[in-house]
Amino acid sequence: MVRSSVLGYPRIGADREWKKALEAFWSGKLEETAFHTQLQEIRLDHLRKQQEKGIDFIPVNDFSYYDHILDTAAMFGMIPQRFPYEGGVVPLSVYYGIARGTKDAAASEMTKWFNTNYHYIVPELAGASPILTENKPLAAYREAKEKLGIEGKPVIVGPLTFLKLSKGYSISELDVWLERLLPLYVRILQELAAEGVQWVQMDEPILVMKLSAADVQRLNNIYETFAASVPNLNIMLQTYFESVEHYSDIVALPIQGIGLDFVHGLSGNMQSIKALGFPADKILGAGVIDGRGIWKASLRGKLKLLDELVELVTPERLIVQSSCSLLHVPVTTEIETKLTSELKNSLAFADEKLDEIVFLTKALSSGSAGILAELDKCDRTIQDLQQSGERNRIGIQQAVAALSVQQPKRSRPFAERYSVQQAKWQLPLFPTTTIGSFPQSAEVRKARQLWRKGEWNNEQYADFIREQIDIWIKLQEEIGLDVLVHGEFERTDMVEFFGEKLAGFAFTQNGWVQSYGSRCVKPPIIFGDVAFTEQMTVEETKYAQSRTQRPVKGMLTGPITIMNWSFVREDIPREQIAYQLAYALRQEVVALEQAGIGMIQVDEPAVREGLPLKEDEQADYLAWAVKAFRIATCTVQETTQIHTHMCYCEFHDMIDSIEAMDADVISIETSRSHGELIHSFELNTYKLGIGLGVYDIHSPRIPSVEEMTGMIERALRVLNAKLFWINPDCGLKTRGLEETVASLRNMVVATKIARAKHVATV
């Protein structure tokens, strides 16, 4: 009999109950005991929902107080030495200190989880002595069984994946660390087996990446050790996000089940199974429901795929499941009341995906004769959206088709632009600026709410925004910044704001997903052809420029970031969506320039997040991502300075593509990774303007002048001082007024110290 499973469920709750509890605890409004109680209630509610839906294998230990990789590090007592820790269960003060930083210690690095929009805390192994502080999977299993009678499936991050995603050790030490960790994993599994656990989900998404022969041998050692230590425990080796590498080696491992992604890894995984077969002694976890996308599945198409798999794997050895954890999608469409029925009926969030999994499982077991009506209904829903006017803007399609065969470029090369821009702007050595946003206070959020509810008219709201701009233009001048910004007080989110002003977008009321920690975002839905309909940023930027003699940057979000931070349609290639967005943004760039704005920042913090996991697909993606940026920015005059910004990700392996974007100035995150990106410029010469973020804005601390001076000096050892800018890592929207002003003042002081030291050598 075919069974059903899920790889993980969203933590945040339908109304972001999880986020609210975390932030109440951090602010001191919720004491620790009550905090634990609230999170347990949320956790049990999620388990109960999966139970009631009819999922056979319900994941436990997928819930987290912040991040599942941080949980794994804490479970093994791997606490960075700068945090006070004396052993035992890691206190919440230390746990959250690692994630968010403290007054005395910088937070650990945060980076993206493979090619998703989720970001995890990078474990730091240097100086750590692994020890099992608590068996979290066991506690989660016991809770589900005792409270709800659920025979849960504990989820554990596998040893190879955990080590590969960690830092603070050399490649030559990998086997040493594996020897240290394996006994701890064995102990966890033995305790689970002794408790009566039937199945464990061992997540090894690293197996979809390129592996060395040594890695394959390590994999064998790991799972042979597990097989010998817990012979009666069933291990589902779970992969996701792409097709696995070294398929024949993986299916030969001494494990009881293998989970494969048949959405994003469909072609490669299906090819491997058909060519090499699937072991008769193993269970196949068939990830046929997309755990990352929000579109309703073609049930008829999924059944056809499952029928193909049943020819290769007998039904009793098949589990129908999500392609990955449902962490990456919103909770439910039930509470969405403002979407058109045509669009809402085409969506499937986490709860709806549970229904799809159960439906397919039952259909596969009982046959399709009794479910034809449901299949026909699904087909009609998909067809109705496909035939809508929103997806058939012929003028946009023709314009983008013409652009896609061109090679966009600026009218003059950077070296020539640099000279005329310096003559125009007369900026000092090491110009200072910020990334764009300033603190969105409770007053700002309240004003926006009053306007959205209709209690304020447009003019009242515009007056308020102008007042905020006035305050912050004056503050920036007092602090001593060289290039100013208007502060983005009219914007809720850097993607949502633009989507609301472009055709082809839709917005949910509660379509929240976790980005990192308690930071939740509500991605727009790109469901139709994207089109420019009105000026989006000109009014506020032009007003800000009128209040100062210093240059004010226009602020836009770039086409690739808008695409990668949205849920996008699946009926056309992503490249085409990117070009539609770029064409729309080009029209806004032209409008800003015509309004007298001579510096325009087009942010691309998420350009790397769309990078394919397979190396042979990466060059093509980067080529059209760069092209999209250039389509958006190439029409400006040589005196107009184009800026961009990137953060959240590792960029050392795409410096060439960043340079190919041909932005006059790029600001890029480096402080959170403790300056590691700077090493890239020791190996690669960067010839355009660049600002490396000198302090981490995600941490609620005020960095010292000395700290920032050290970052500046290290950067200047490898970067051209004439082209070097100084700025924070990212926007300051989430920070408070006092810490923002204090941090920026320190940044300006550090800049003056650097100018005094280097002015004679430039």
As a whole number, the mean pLDDT across the chain is: 94
Q: What is the DSSP letter of 391?
A: G
* Whether pLDDT at 649 is above 60: no
Residues tagged active-site: 698
Q: Are 390 and 371 in contact (CB under 8 A)?
A: no
Distance in angstroms (rounded) separating the CA atoms of residues 453 and 444? 14
- Average pLDDT of the segment spanning 354-371: 88
**Mutual orientation of helices 17-26 and 92-100 as an angle, nearest 10°?**
100
Burial of 653 (0-12, 13-18, 19+ CB in 10 A): exposed
**Concatenated DSSP letters for 54-119?**
T-SB-EES---SS-HHHHHHHHTT---TTS---SSSPPHHHHHHHHH--SSSPPPPEEESTTSS-E
Query: Quick check: 159 pLDDT over 70?
Result: yes
534-583 confidence digits (pLDDT tens) = 999 999 999 999 999 999 999 999 999 999 999 999 999 999 999 999 99
Query: 61-98, pLDDT tens digit by residue?
Result: 999 999 999 999 999 999 999 999 999 999 999 999 99
Extract the annotated binding site for Zn(2+). Answer: 645, 647, 669, 730
pLDDT per position as a tens digit, 586-641:
999 999 999 999 999 999 988 888 899 999 999 999 999 999 999 999 999 999 99
C-alpha 556/C-alpha 550 separation (Å) is 19
- pLDDT at position 718 is 84
Which of the 8 DSSP states describes residue 156? E
Name the region of 67 (left: φ>0; alpha: ψ -120 to 50; beta: rest).
beta
Beta bridge partners of 285: 259, 319
| 270 exposure class (CB count in 10 Å sphere: 0-12, 13-18, 19+) | middle
Element (H, E) at 3: strand 3-5
In angstroms, the CA 251 to CA 246 distance is: 9
Q: Which residues are annotated as a binding site for 5-methyltetrahydropteroyltri-L-glutamate?
A: 16-19, 112, 117, 519-520, 565, 609
Adjacent-strand bridge partners of 557: 603
**Residues 10-19: tens digit of each pLDDT:** 999 999 999 9
Q: What is the pLDDT of residues 253-274, one digit of tens each?
A: 999 999 999 999 999 999 999 9
Q: What crossing angle do the helices spanning 458-479 and 538-546 adopt, rounded to 10°?
A: 50
Backbone angles phi, psi at 705, to 5 degrees: -60, -40
Long-range contacts from 94-101, C-beta under 8 angstroms, 24+ separation: 95/65, 95/66, 95/70, 96/26, 96/66, 98/70, 98/73, 98/74, 99/66, 99/67, 99/70, 99/517, 100/26, 100/517, 100/698, 100/699, 100/700, 101/696, 101/698, 101/699, 101/700, 101/701
Question: Can you state the angle between helices 92-100 and 68-75, rounded to 10 degrees?
Answer: 130
Say if residue 368's pLDDT is above 70: no
Contact of 517 with 524, CB cutoff 8 Å: no
Which segments are annotated as binding site for L-homocysteine?
Answer: 435-437, 488, 603
pLDDT over 60 at 303, yes or no: yes
**Residue 740 and residue 472 in contact, taking contact as beta carbons nearer than 8 Å:** no
The pLDDT value given to residue 647: 75
Mean pLDDT to the nearest integer, 343-356: 97
491-510 pLDDT, tens digit per residue, is 988 899 999 999 999 999 99
Residue type, 473: I
Share of the chain above pLDDT 90, in %: 86
Confidence of residue 652 (pLDDT cuts 50, 70, 90): low
Q: What is the pLDDT of residue 696?
A: 78
Q: How many CB atoms lie within 10 A of CB 621?
A: 20
Residue 112 phi/psi, 5-degree rounding, is -75, 150
Dump the DSSP string for 525-583: EEEEEEEE-S-SSHHHHHHHHHT-SS-BEEEEE-HHHHHHTSEE-SSS-HHHHHHHHHH
CA count, 13 A, side-chain hemisphere, 353: 31
Q: Which residues make up each annotated binding site?
A: 16-19, 112, 117, 435-437, 488, 519-520, 565, 603, 609, 645, 647, 669, 730
How far apart are the C-alpha atoms of 155 and 147, rounded to whole Å?
18
Percent of the chain exceeding pLDDT 70 equals: 97
Q: Which letter does DSSP use for residue 124 in this model?
A: B
Please report, for residues 201, 533, 626, 717, the alpha-carbon distance to residue 579 in angstroms, rounded to integers and kept in the order given: 40, 16, 11, 38
Cα–Cα nearest to 490, from 532, 535, 432: 535
Which of 51, 9, 230 lies closest to 151 in space, CA to CA? Answer: 51
* pLDDT tens string 519-531: 999 999 999 999 9
CA distance 330 to 327: 8
Domain boundaries, the chain: 3-389, 413-761
> Distance (Å, rounded) from C-alpha 263 to C-alpha 570?
12
Task: Specify the range with the lowest mean pLDDT, choosing from 154-158, 401-405, 674-678, 741-745.
Answer: 674-678
pTM for the complete prediction? 0.91
Helix (H, G, I), strand (E, B) or coil at 605: coil
Provide CB contacts within 8 A for 384, sequence distance 6+: 342, 345, 346
User: How far is it, in rounded angstroms, from Cα 563 to Cα 567?
Assistant: 8
Backbone angles phi, psi at 636, to 5 degrees: -75, 160
| Alpha-carbon distance values, 31 to 35, 65, 74, 88, 173 (Å) | 6, 15, 21, 21, 41
Give, for 462, the enclosing helix (H) or strand (E): helix 458-479
User: What tokens appear for 300 in the block?
Assistant: 């008829």
Name the one residue in this structure whose structure tokens are 């077969």.
277
What CATH code would you report for 3-389? Answer: 3.20.20.210
Known binding residues for L-methionine are: 435-437, 488, 603
154 pLDDT exceeds 60?
A: yes
Fold for 413-761, please state it: TIM Barrel (3.20.20)
At 290, is the pLDDT very low, low, confident or very high (cuts 50, 70, 90)? very high
Amino acid letter, 535: Q
Collect all residues with Cβ–Cβ distance below 8 Å to 221 and sequence separation of at least 6.
178, 182
Top-confidence residue, 309 or 684: 309
Q: Is the pLDDT at 698 greater than 80, yes or no?
A: no
Position 13 scores a pLDDT of 95
Report the b/e string of 94-122 with b at 16+ CB within 10 A: bbbbbbbbbeebbbbbbbbbbbbbbbbbb
- Residue 618: half-sphere exposure toward Cβ, Cα within 13 Å: 15
d(CA 207, CA 629): 32
